[in-house]
Structure 1
Amino acid sequence: MKTKLDSEAVLSWVLSALAGMAGAVAYAHTSGYFVTFMTGNTERAVIGHFVGTSDVAFGGLGLIAAFLAGVVVASLLRRHVWRRHPHGASVLTTISLVGASVVELGINGWLGDEVTFTPVLFIAFGMGALNCSFVRGGEVSIPLSYVTGTVVKLGQGIERHLSGGSVFDWLGYALVYVSFAVGAAAGGLLDLVTTGAQMLAATTVACALVSVYTYVHLDRVPIPHQQNADRQPLRGGR
């Protein structure tokens, strides 16, 4: 994390909150599917076959595939199309949420409470794309929905602070984590007063507003380290 909290840090909190909100839509209005938690989906995809829930297992596998596709497509667009818009991944997320909303409205209508599986695949694709919003050196620097990794980095940052570092060794990770939780809480509150389709539409509008702001204003001046990261060749595993 940086030694100061700048506009990029603020954007990471906003996008993390959006990820939490989108996750709440899927979790609250489906059979408990996760669009941000690929660890849980992997366990479902494997264990489901042993406990008699093969349909849920295949659902988890589909969500993993959709999330992975979102990462790949966003990375390709970022490398070849969005060189002057380092946070353009949020645009792809907005498009995915619009697609999810249109499909859901076509299936269940504005008053439909249950979000069907196909729109959830769109949301998972969008969440995969969203995680490519912050890239340095060809790798994701702030994984917006990878809460486990954020908590690990938070713990390591606290240790560095205790060993002579500064509060900035952990504060950024703490704020990303809190933002995700706040987004999930906002989704939970919306769930109390809206249907699944309405909640999905509200999340889509919020994402669209953030995307317009970042694409038009925040990304207006290219960020040097982002451009350099895009020029680097693809690398193998760590």
Structure 2
Amino acid sequence: MPKPDEDRRSALYDSEARLSWVLAGLAGLIGAAAFMHTAGYFVTFMTGNTERAMLGHFHDEHDVAIAATLLLLSFVAGVVVSSWCRRRYWSGHPHGPTLLTTASLAAASIVDVVIFQALDTDKIDFIPILFVAFGVGALNTSFVKDDEVSIPLSYVTGTLVKMAQGIERHISGGDYTDWLGYFLLYLAFALGGLLGGLFSLVVAGWAMLNTATVVCLVVTCYTYLHLDRHGPPTET
């Protein structure tokens, strides 16, 4: 029988863990696209949106407060709809939320192209960003255990808190597995944001959305047609 420590170490690099890195990187890329090519909208940072929604009125920035509120509602709607679809339609496809995220990004790309042609601007308009926020909310339900999200892909604050707690446990006699998984998840998100920032220097906003859509589509095909069908590899 494998030892518990060995199980934890192998779980750090199994197919589920690797997929979580890819999806966290995708969330970072999407967040960068939204932030760099808009007026500074957050689609992964709901703490910031909550503060903007509350405090924008105190600076006579009512439009910012309203936009932040709509982004919050769109994000929450993505979580609700994706969770409902998981329960009703995706019982055999636990990573089905990536399908909804892909559809949301595709819709955002189409709307953005239409607005780009109408307004002739390389900035992403607010309406496509609502679709993006919906997709990010759905993406966060990709890993669920006992009806609760087990790996929050864009909740960086929580990831850092858990990583820091794991570092303390390691110092106090624990194992590196107490924190390494959270660090790798954080690193993947940060690298996704960095990649998105680099892309934003050379491509327009609509190209960023198209890139994120294509990446998400590839991941969706892998998870929906392979991983969910065959499951993660098991140790013999």
2:18 pairs with one of 10, 13, 31: 10
What is the deviation of 1:43? 0.4
Residue 204 of structure 2 aligns with which residue?
Answer: 195
State the alpha-carbon separation in 2 of the partners of residues 142 and 40 from structure 1.
20
State the alpha-carbon separation in 2 of the partners of residues 174 and 142 from structure 1.
13
CA contact (8 A) 1:89 1:130 kept: yes
Counterpart residue identity of residue 42, structure 2: F
Residue 225 of structure 2 aligns with which residue?
Answer: 216
What is the aligned residue count? 223
Residue 52 of structure 2 corresponds to residue 44 of structure 1 = yes
Which deviations, in whole Å up to 9, do the C-alpha atoms of 1:115-165 show, x marking residues without a partner? Answer: 000000000000000000000111001000000000000001111111222
Counterpart residue identity of residue 84, structure 1: G
State the alpha-carbon separation in 1 of the partners of residues 27 and 100 from structure 2.
13
Counterpart residue identity of residue 107, structure 2: G
1:63 pairs with one of 60, 71, 86: 71
1:74 pairs with one of 58, 61, 82: 82
State the alpha-carbon separation in 2 of the partners of residues 177 and 145 from structure 1.
9
Work out the percentage of aligned pairs sharing the same amino acid.
57
Counterpart residue identity of residue 214, structure 2: V
CA contact (8 A) 1:91 1:208 kept: yes
SS, match of residue 82 in structure 1 = coil
What is the deviation of 1:112? 3.8
CA contact (8 A) 1:86 1:133 kept: yes
What is the deviation of 1:3? 3.6
Residue 121 of structure 1 aligns with which residue?
Answer: 130
2:43 pairs with one of 13, 17, 35: 35
State the alpha-carbon separation in 2 of the partners of residues 127 and 191 from structure 1.
19
CA contact (8 A) 1:66 1:125 kept: yes
Structure 1 residue ranges without an equivalent (≥5): 224-238
CA contact (8 A) 1:86 1:222 kept: no
CA contact (8 A) 1:84 1:222 kept: no
SS, match of residue 103 in structure 2 = helix
SS, match of residue 219 in structure 1 = helix
State the alpha-carbon separation in 1 of the partners of residues 21 and 152 from structure 2.
11
Runs (4 or more) in structure 1 with deviation over 3 Å come to: 109-112
State the alpha-carbon separation in 1 of the partners of residues 8 and 45 from structure 2.
26
